Amino acid sequence: MIQASAPALILASQSAARQSLLRAAGLRFEAMPAAVDENALKTSAQAEQLRAEDAAVMLADAKATRIARRHPDALVIGADQLLLCEGQWFDKPLDAAAVAGHLRALSGRTHHLVNGVVAHRHGQRVWQHAGRMALTMRPLSDAFIAAYVAVEGEAARHSVGGYRLEGPGMHLFTRIEGEHSAILGMPMLPLLAFLRQHGVLAD
């Protein structure tokens, strides 16, 4: 895999999972967290009755736009992920009790993770992608949920579902449909295809 020296690649995210995926693919990039009011944007999206895919792209675009204004020559990648279960949108849990609440709500049900990814360069959006994955969680007992929360600790709060599929969260599911990297927060196959088309990676 050969990456061009220009443009510089910037990930507008502080997500450890997204950074790990890009590093695993051999990409050279800089991570810059974008300070946007995600809750306000989600509230607006729901009030406007946007599709989850459109809302995820809107959130990703807000992040990329904020960083791209300061680095117009770079290729800035923004990403966001939403979780929906039977019409309800979930936010990242704030504490261990909220993690347990998420798991009880998702237990025995199929929920969807919806990703939005955009790329900005020279003051404009040059690419976007949206995707949806379906995950079916097995029925979980209160005892199991308590044990899981104790094992995962602080790490569980960094995922919108309260689980990390790359860790002990694998024990929660009976069926998973979708690209593994997309479930972790970054659909790498579409992203790598775009980077090749854009000349960042050798084809």
Task: Cite the active site residues.
Answer: 80
Which candidate, 11, 162, 185, 177, places its Cα nearest to that of 81?
Answer: 185
Nearest-angstrom CA–CA distance, 79 and 183 = 12
Distances (CA, A) of 156 to 21, 162, 164, 178: 18, 5, 7, 21
Please, are residues 54 and 45 in contact by the beta-carbon 8 Å criterion?
yes
Name the phi and psi angles at 193, rounded to 5: -65, -45
Nearest-angstrom CA–CA distance, 58 and 56 = 5
Nearest-angstrom CA–CA distance, 111 and 39 = 20
